[in-house]
Amino acid sequence: MELTEAKGLVNLNNTQYFKFSKKVFTFIAIVSVAVNILFLVLPLFSMQVFDRVLSSESRETLVMLASVALFLLSIQALLDWVRGQVMLRYGYGIEQHSSDFAFNIAMLKSQENNGVHSQPLSDLSRVKEVIASPGIFALFDAPFAPVFLAVMYLMHPLLGHFALIGATVLFVISLLSLLVTKRLQNNASQHAGTFNALTSDWLKNAEIVQALGMNDNLVAKWRKESINPTVDKATADKISRGILALAKYARMLLQIGVLCVSVILVLENEVGAGVLIAASMIMSRVLAPVEQAIHNWQSWLEGWKAHKRLRQAYLEQADDVVELPKIKGTIQFEKVNLGHHGSEKPLLEDLSFVIPAGASVAIVGGSGVGKSTLVKAMLGLVIPVNGQVRIDGATLNQRQVSELGKQVGYVSQNSQLLSGTIAQNICRFDEQVEAKDIVDAAKLAGVHEMILALPNGYQTLVGGLGIRLSGGQQQRIAMARALYTKPALLILDEPDSNLDHPGQAALTEFIAHAHYKRITVVVISHRMSIIQHTGLCMVLGEGRIQQYGKTSDILNIPKSNESGMESAS
């Protein structure tokens, strides 16, 4: 079984997405039939040895029985190894072929929740662990418990009754474990999620925490917040281990009990002496699925929940997206309402406007009026509460987010560089990159000389693994990154917030270049030196568009400054 066999589980072009491969599980089921039937070899061998060999004292019979048993047990061991290898490779194959999807979902969820959201990656790892673990075979072996129970009845009805009672006792214990710990496990999981998110947020802002001397306060708060998940998890583990110990104790008593019943039956000449060992072996097979369920039910439950979350994430993705022509840059809002994540009241209401392809638009307004939310909606990073956002006539959900992103340049208010080299950041980690394209983008952004002045030039490591650049340096490199794919649409969210005078001059040239190339530019800025280079201006206030038209008309820029500006269509 090759890793590629698992690809059918996660195929973005397959409507049967996330349905486990029937071929793999059918194969495992067939092999499990053989493995479980061959478990009867040892009980039958022991019965024949006691009932035939000892009574006849025939060594030839012993050799023959031992040879047959050795052959059959070798086949069983081989089949057991095969099914283990198949499920192991299948589990890792699922992880290999689903990792891109899980990573993309994690990125989307992180963007939607404005924080790190690695749940899809954890879910994929959990599904892989469950499938690749030996405990999964308990699900395939469980249907054979009635078969072994029937064999116990065939040996003697009393043995069958005892085995049935024993299996029922273990089942009740396992059910008790599930009912008692389920609520505690759920509470622990919820509290742990909240606690981890809180910890991640504090660590992410370690610099401000240190600067303001907040360490002691946050440590006290951290210790207090850690109590809930710790107490719930500890209580659940304590109960689970107690029930597990009870299950082991019950099984040992049942093994002793079946041996005692067998001895009594032998003494009363109800069965042969071989039943002493055979009954004990078969009893273990009757009880094994129940005992394994007690060991693994929590893992299975978590794996099933992870599978359902991944499946739901897939179903939420548009599977009818078709490849559309490259965008030209026309943006249209149709009665759009926008709001903060988790907020019921819209931040911006009834937005209806058109930005023509090739236009340059300045968005202005006071702090907190929703300027950044508006431009993020243009990129699909914020989902409208109502209405439609269109680019070149197509709604955003008709386009693949990743494909749209390759045709857009975006510089956020606080642009961050990812861990890697400057070259990798500029080319957006494209492996099919040419050095000339990186340098050209840097020159267009006016950052080429600045990069060459760094210790290793374009190969300088930045981000968490490298040197720390100033906010202005990161902003200028982000401009080069925005231009790398020769986008048809540029979104600039206060790109001048961290720039010095040379950086602002480079930004002005940056916008002029975009205008010359007929690139649609949407820029948020408070600086007149930037705004006056745009042809259109949109003023936001009180949750609505207050004004939208020519920059010169709205801001009363003298006619002499209108050169190079475009007019609204």
pLDDT band at 260 (very low <50, low <70, confident <90, very high): very high
For residue 382 the two structure tokens come to 């914020």
Mean per-residue pLDDT for 238-254? 83
Mean per-residue pLDDT for 478-490? 89
pLDDT band at 568 (very low <50, low <70, confident <90, very high): very low
Where is the domain boundary, 262, 285, 316?
316
pLDDT at 407: 87
Residue 324 lies in a domain: no
Residue-number span of the structural domain to which 410 is assigned: 331-561
Residue pair 164/237 in contact (Cβ under 8 Å)? The answer is: no
d(C-alpha 294, C-alpha 175), whole Å: 8
Residue 41 lies in a domain: yes
129-174, pLDDT tens digit by residue? 888 888 888 888 888 888 999 999 998 999 999 999 988 888 888 7
HEC profile for 472-501? Answer: HHHHHHHHHHHHCCCCCEEEEECCCCCCCH
pLDDT band at 2 (very low <50, low <70, confident <90, very high): very low
pLDDT band at 30 (very low <50, low <70, confident <90, very high): very high
Q: Pick the range with the lowest mean pLDDT from 361-375, 400-414, 491-505, 550-564.
A: 550-564
HEC profile for 59-128? Answer: HHHHHHHHHHHHHHHHHHHHHHHHHHHHHHHHHHHHHHHHHHHHHHHHHHHHHHHCCCCCHHHHHHHHHH
* Backbone φ, ψ for residue 272 (5° rounding): -80, 165
Mean per-residue pLDDT for 174-193? 71
pLDDT band at 523 (very low <50, low <70, confident <90, very high): very high
Same domain, 312 and 433: no
Is the confidence at residue 443, as pLDDT, over 50?
A: yes
pTM score, whole prediction: 0.61
Residue 568 lies in a domain: no
Same domain, 342 and 273: no
Same domain, 302 and 365: no
Is the confidence at residue 489, as pLDDT, over 70?
A: yes
Higher pLDDT, residue 550 or 192: 550
**Which of 226-240, 254-268, 287-301 reaches the highest mean pLDDT?**
254-268
* 326 burial level (CB within 10 Å; 0-12, 13-18, 19+): exposed
Same domain, 88 and 223: yes
**Which of 96-105, 489-498, 542-551 reaches the highest mean pLDDT?**
542-551
- Residue 481's identity, in one-letter code, is R
Q: Helix 275-316 to helix 59-113 angle, to the nearest 10 degrees?
A: 20
d(C-alpha 154, C-alpha 150), whole Å: 6
Residue 569 lies in a domain: no
pLDDT at 113: 56
Same domain, 267 and 183: yes
Mean per-residue pLDDT for 269-283? 86
pLDDT at 209: 66
Higher pLDDT, residue 436 or 515: 436
Is the confidence at residue 492, as pLDDT, over 70?
A: yes
Provide the sign of the torsion angle of the four alpha carbons 515, 521, 522, 525, taken in this order: negative
Mean per-residue pLDDT for 215-241? 73
Same domain, 296 and 395: no
pLDDT at 357: 92
Among 518, 519, 470, 517, residue whose Cα is nearest residue 491? 519
Same domain, 187 and 230: yes
Same domain, 382 and 270: no
* Backbone φ, ψ for residue 532 (5° rounding): -65, -10
Where is the domain boundary, 316, 351, 374?
316
Is the confidence at residue 114, as pLDDT, over 80?
A: no
**Which of 198-207, 341-350, 483-492 reaches the highest mean pLDDT?**
483-492
Same domain, 179 and 154: yes
Residue pair 524/366 in contact (Cβ under 8 Å)? The answer is: no
Residue 93 lies in a domain: yes
Is the confidence at residue 6, as pLDDT, over 50?
A: no
CATH number for the domain spanning 200: value is 1.20.1560.10
Same domain, 281 and 386: no
Residue 347 lies in a domain: yes
pLDDT band at 239 (very low <50, low <70, confident <90, very high): confident
83-103, pLDDT tens digit by residue? 989 888 888 877 777 776 777
Higher pLDDT, residue 272 or 378: 378
For residue 72 the two structure tokens come to 């059959």
d(C-alpha 519, C-alpha 346), whole Å: 30
pLDDT at 34: 93
295-346, pLDDT tens digit by residue? 777 777 778 888 787 777 776 665 555 677 888 889 999 999 988 655 667 8
Mean per-residue pLDDT for 357-375? 89
Where is the domain boundary, 263, 290, 316?
316
Residue 322 lies in a domain: no
pLDDT at 109: 63
CATH number for the domain spanning 554: value is 3.40.50.300
pLDDT at 561: 44
* Backbone φ, ψ for residue 347 (5° rounding): -80, -40
Is the confidence at residue 13, as pLDDT, over 80?
A: no
For residue 493 the two structure tokens come to 């969210």
* Backbone φ, ψ for residue 348 (5° rounding): -130, 135
- Indicate the average pLDDT of the chain: 80
Mean per-residue pLDDT for 191-217? 69
Mean per-residue pLDDT for 513-532? 86
Same domain, 297 and 368: no
Q: Left (φ > 0), alpha (ψ -120 to 50) or beta: where does 534 sit?
A: beta
How many domains are contained in the chain? 2
Same domain, 29 and 87: yes
- Residue 553's identity, in one-letter code, is D
380-409, pLDDT tens digit by residue? 888 888 889 999 888 887 777 777 888 888
Residue 566 lies in a domain: no
Q: Pick the range with the lowest mean pLDDT from 186-195, 439-448, 549-558.
A: 186-195
